[in-house]
Structure 1
Amino acid sequence: MTRKKQIIVPIVVLLLGILTFVGLASMKKPPEEKPAVDNTPIVAVEPVNVDAMHLTVGSYGIVKPKYETELIAQVNGQIVELNDAFVRGGFVSQGQLLARIDPNDYEAALIDAEANLASALASLETERAQGKVAEREWKRIHDASPTELSLRKPQLAQELARVKAAEASVLRAKRNLERTEIRAPYDAMIESREIGLGSYVGVGRNVGKLLATDIAEVRLPVADNQLEFLENHGEQSNVVLNGVFAGKEMRWNAKIVRSEGVVDNKSRMSYLVAQIEDPYALSDKNKEPLRFGSYVNAEIFGVTLAQATTVPRYLVENSRVAILDEESKLRYVDVDIVRQDGANVIISGGLHQGDRIIVSALDYPIDGMALALESDTNLEQQENEDVTNTQVASVSE
């Protein structure tokens, strides 16, 4: 009996161990299968839009009047009249009286000159009559030809000279009398006035300064390498001026009327001159005035490119741009760079409508390497999540 127990007990223990091992083995979960890792570089792209492009050249300048005039007194005298509009910032019309110098002395001088002219004319008529009498007497008394002196021709010439001198004196007196009235030579704004009512002015005294209001000008510096983008080197080009008036951003239309034709010695810039008609909007109250002395930025309209696009400058290397082709591979294409425009470059050839330009950085880019789009990767992850969620829902049911 004891011997049977010695045989049965080990067998039972062995069977229990086997059963325990089988039970534990059946409870063990199989290792999860990890998905294959895709090491394809992920990139972001932007589509290329190729279209006609109007180039512009930027510049800047100060608004100034086309004409500015310093009024100078041409006669002496006391200021006896001032126009109310003759003040700093006032607007005056062409021919409008600004100030009057005391005309009494010049009126008297004109009367005196006219009297001298009348006396000279009377003497001239008297001398002509005496000359005719002398000619008749000479013919009656002498048979020979008369001399110039006998006909009183030297005396007649002297009287003619006196008349011309008297006429010149009258003209001078009239001109001096007219100069007592200081008038505006054109439609203008008063920049300064240097006289007051009752003050005495002498010949050459500065009376004031006028700024013409019909046309304003802006000198626009342009680099030499930018002139190639302007038709006819900018002459007759349209310009848009941008500035601030009363705290608001404003725009005014202008036109290039001429080039100064020289390169500045210091800045090495060429200067184009733009003109603006009626800058103070005196004839059109709906326009905003463009004040003299204002600082403005200018956009000069240049040539038009039939097919061009703009690309960030950092995406161009050695005149090449990386694109993603139809097979999702990296390709480098040679491009024609027209100009650099700030942080961008303008390209006129090499890229086509719909090309996908790579805008994300790559560590080791190689022409022809396979790439993946960031949008496609996100879509694949979303599909995997949807499948997983569906499986979990099925197990729960």
Structure 2
Amino acid sequence: MRFLGKSLMGLVLLALTLGLLLWSGVTVRDAVLARLNEEPRVPQARERVFTVNVVPLEFQTVTPDLAAFGEVQSRRTLEIRAAASGTLIDLDPAFVEGGQVEEGQLLARIDPADAQSALDRAESDLLDAEAESREAGRAIVLARDELAAAEEQVDLRDRALQRQRDLLQRNVGTTAALEDAELALSSARQAVLTRRQALASAEARIDQAATATRRAEIARDEARRRLADTEIRAQFAGTLSDVTVVAGRLVSTNEQLAQLVDPGALEVAFRVSTQQYARLIDEAGQLRPSPVTVTLDIYGTNITATGQLSREGASVGAGQTGRLLFASLDAPRGFKPGDFVTVTLQEPPLPYVARIPAAAVDAADEVLVLAEGDRLEAVTVQVLRRQGDDVLIRARDLAGREVVAARTPLLGAGIKVNPLRAGNAAPEAPEMVELSEERRAKLVAFVEGNTRMPAEAKTRILAQLQQPQVPAEMIERIESRM
């Protein structure tokens, strides 16, 4: 009986177990069918709103600036060279690197002993030539007197011949006396020819003496110039550079001793692109005399000078592009030849343009404009110039509208934004509360006993709690956790 009872109890438990399993399976099946038959529930997503800075578009006439880099150079640089060879003496103390000299100042002297000797010899030769000229003058006077005396003798001999002929016709004279008179006249005439030849020689001697005197004067002047070449003087007031001489040095002819630079005649040479150059010329193709500002940046300290665009290079050098321009400086105080400077010059004014940040324009020349409902709209604009961190644009029907100042990959057309304008009020300062000593002690004890708070945050909060006034928001946050 006992065995039968236990067997029946086991069958009952097995039946109950199978019934429960069947009931569980039916319940799961009904739940799955009900889940599958339900309509899908889509969660309501909230639209994300971005906060952006916007700037208004104000179209006006703007004069753009063109920036370039150039080098300061001198318009008046003279190479000081030795015109003679010899030893340098009498070196001026200012004849050093960076020395300031005046116009006509004697910088150095080359030993003038040889040049002085040559000048003395030339002057002596000139004295000899002048003496020869005076002697030739006296000789021609004597030659003329001798010629006059010989001509008088011819006259006398001619009259004597006429008397002998008259006497012979009256049968008083003789033929021998007539022949003697004719011979005497012929000898007198021969003497006149000799005196004329002597006069011609004296006149030639005068010409030769004049030529010799002129040659001696030329030699004297040349000797004086060679003596003057031994003196090295400054041709204009300026500053010396590249000085390579010392007293006692032997220099050769045409050797460069230094360079003289005029610090007041400086200009800047800079290169611009062909497109920029086209904006600087007028309708006739001539370069406009635009004002120029030259800046030398010396570790944050700027030296600035103004000037004017003066001329352009005659040709484009080999391997170079663009155009080489030159600008004269009005008052180049602090500038030196060789300085690398920034050149800023004004271009012709551009009408109806707006200046916006360069970050507002993408690579496709599009900007994001604030439309209705604070949503963004992409608009294509014409970029005319880039001015540092800004650009000058021109667009139609955008006057008075606002554009996004800085684009990000998250922004695009149709996105809703929260615009921040330059005129928006600044955020209010947090409310400050004065704590009692008991309340302060409780707050400090709670913060010090908080083991989950980072050490840096704990130090910062404790330092704020020690102040006379503590932000009310921080007090409420701590007390809510106590």
Structure-2-length-normalised TM-score: 0.60
Offset of residue 352 of structure 1: 5.0
- Report the counterpart of residue 299 of structure 1 in structure 2: 344
Offset of residue 236 of structure 1: 2.4
Aligned partners of 1:43 and 1:371 also within 8 Å: no
Q: Deviations over 1:322-351 (max 9, x none)?
A: 433567676565544323445643224526
- Report the counterpart of residue 20 of structure 1 in structure 2: none
Q: Which amino acid aligns with 2:346?
A: F
Q: Deviations over 1:1-40 (max 9, x none)?
A: xxxxxxxxxxxxxxxxxxxxxxxxxxxxxxxxxxx98759
- Report the counterpart of residue 230 of structure 2 in structure 1: 180
Match of 1:355 among 381, 385, 401: 401
Structure 1 CA distance for aligned equivalents of residues 347 and 62 of structure 2 = 10
- Report the counterpart of residue 61 of structure 2 in structure 1: 52
- Report the counterpart of residue 37 of structure 2 in structure 1: none
Q: Which amino acid aligns with 1:190?
A: L
- Report the counterpart of residue 251 of structure 2 in structure 1: 201
Aligned partners of 1:56 and 1:229 also within 8 Å: no
Unpaired segments of 5 or more residues in structure 1? 1-35, 282-288, 380-397
SS at match of 1:263: coil
Q: Which amino acid aligns with 2:400?
A: G
In structure 2, the CA distance between the partners of 1:256 and 1:332, relative to structure 1 (3 Å rule), is same
- Report the counterpart of residue 65 of structure 1 in structure 2: 74
**Which structure has more helix as a fraction of its residues?**
2
Aligned partners of 1:336 and 1:350 also within 8 Å: no
Identity of aligned residues (%): 23
Please state if 1:324 is matched with 2:324.
no
Q: Deviations over 1:268-304 (max 9, x none)?
A: 121111222563x4xxxxxxx1122221111122211
Aligned partners of 1:135 and 1:151 also within 8 Å: no
Aligned partners of 1:82 and 1:98 also within 8 Å: yes
Aligned partners of 1:215 and 1:278 also within 8 Å: no
- Report the counterpart of residue 308 of structure 1 in structure 2: 353
Q: Deviations over 1:98-118 (max 9, x none)?
A: 111222332332232222212
SS at match of 1:82: coil
**Which structure has more strand as a fraction of its residues?**
1
- Report the counterpart of residue 223 of structure 1 in structure 2: 273
Offset of residue 88 of structure 1: 0.8
Please state if 1:86 is matched with 2:95.
yes
Structure 1 CA distance for aligned equivalents of residues 202 and 382 of structure 2 = 94
Q: Which amino acid aligns with 1:194?
A: T
Match of 2:294 among 236, 241, 246: 241
Alignment of 1:1-397 (within 5 A): 39=47, 44=52, 45-138=54-147, 140-141=150-151, 150=200, 152-232=202-282, 234-245=287-298, 248-277=301-330, 279=332, 281=333, 289-311=334-356, 312=358, 315=361, 321-325=367-371, 335-341=381-387, 344-350=390-396, 352-359=398-405, 373-374=418-419
Aligned partners of 1:187 and 1:214 also within 8 Å: no
In structure 2, the CA distance between the partners of 1:370 and 1:184, relative to structure 1 (3 Å rule), is closer
Unpaired segments of 5 or more residues in structure 2? 1-43, 152-188, 425-482
Aligned partners of 1:190 and 1:210 also within 8 Å: yes
Aligned partners of 1:235 and 1:258 also within 8 Å: no
Structure 1 CA distance for aligned equivalents of residues 46 and 325 of structure 2 = 60
Q: Deviations over 1:122-161 (max 9, x none)?
A: 2123223323443454455368896797253332222122
Offset of residue 203 of structure 1: 2.1
The more displaced of 181-190 and 300-309 is 300-309
The aligned length equals 332
- Report the counterpart of residue 178 of structure 2 in structure 1: none
SS at match of 1:357: strand
Structure-1-length-normalised TM-score: 0.71
Offset of residue 220 of structure 1: 0.3
Structure 2 CA distance for aligned equivalents of residues 317 and 74 of structure 1 = 64
Q: Deviations over 1:40-76 (max 9, x none)?
A: 9767432112232111211112222223222222223
- Report the counterpart of residue 447 of structure 2 in structure 1: none
SS at match of 2:138: helix
Q: Which amino acid aligns with 2:402?
A: R
Cα root mean square deviation, aligned: 3.5
Aligned partners of 2:85 and 2:251 also within 8 Å: yes
In structure 2, the CA distance between the partners of 1:63 and 1:365, relative to structure 1 (3 Å rule), is closer
